[in-house]
Amino acid sequence: MRTTLTIEDALACQLKKRAQEAGKPFKPVINENLLTELQQKAVRKSTSPAYRLKPASLGVPLASINLDKALHLADELEDISLRANLEQRK
Q: Has residue 24 been placed in a domain?
A: yes
If you ran DSSP here, which 8-state letter would residue 88 be given?
H
Evaluate whether 38 touches 23 at the Cβ level (below 8 Å).
no
Q: What is the pLDDT of residues 62-90, one digit of tens each?
A: 888 777 888 888 899 999 999 999 998 86
Residue-range definition of the domain harbouring residue 35: 9-47
Residue 77, domain member (yes or no): no
What is the rounded radius of gyration, in angstroms, for the C-alpha atoms of the chain? 30
- Classify residue 21: in a domain, yes or no: yes
Q: Do the domain assignments include residue 16?
A: yes
Instruction: Report the alpha-carbon distance of residue 28 to residue 35 in Å, rounded.
Output: 10
Q: 3: closest CA among 31, 41, 29? A: 31
Average pLDDT of the chain to the nearest whole number: 87
Strands (E) located in 1-90: none
3 occurs within a structural domain: no
pLDDT at 42 over 70: yes
